[in-house]
Amino acid sequence: MGSTLQIRKKGVITLPMELRRQYNLDEGDILTLVDLGEGAFILVPQVSQVAAQGDRVARTLAEENVSLEDMLLALDEERERYYQEHYAKE
């Protein structure tokens, strides 16, 4: 199935809503343009590494049955321990 797109000012194109929904694309997402030669190219969505790592952390927390509050408390405790070891005057 093909779609017709129009290049607008500054090279802006709009992807049809059906494709954005189908591939879960949102404003600000990054795509890589791959030149296949002879005037053909493809657009490949790039997964944000920040989002991918955030999803990984969320899955691990769920698997370990750790709440966000538990994780934040542990981070605060670790931050305090690090400060005491490296910066606190004795």
Q: Are residues 56 and 81 in the same domain?
A: yes
Quote the pLDDT of residue 80: 94
Q: Are residues 40 and 17 in the same domain?
A: yes
Q: Are residues 55 and 74 in the same domain?
A: yes
In order of 16, 39, 64, 70, 82, the CA distances from 74 in angstroms are 45, 54, 14, 6, 12
What is the number of other CB atoms lying within 10 angstroms of the CB of residue 25? 15
Contact 44, 34 (CB under 8 A): yes
Quote the pLDDT of residue 1: 62
> For the chain (length 90 residues), average pLDDT per consecutive 10?
86 91 89 91 84 86 92 93 87
pTM: 0.48
Residue 1 domain flag = no
Residue 27 domain flag = yes
Q: Are residues 25 and 53 in the same domain?
A: no
Q: How many domains does the chain have?
A: 2
Q: Are residues 37 and 54 in the same domain?
A: no
Q: Which of 71, 43, 77 is CA-nearest to residue 58?
A: 71
Residue 3 domain flag = no
**CATH number of residue 22's parent domain:** 2.10.260
> What is the domain range of residue 67?
49-86
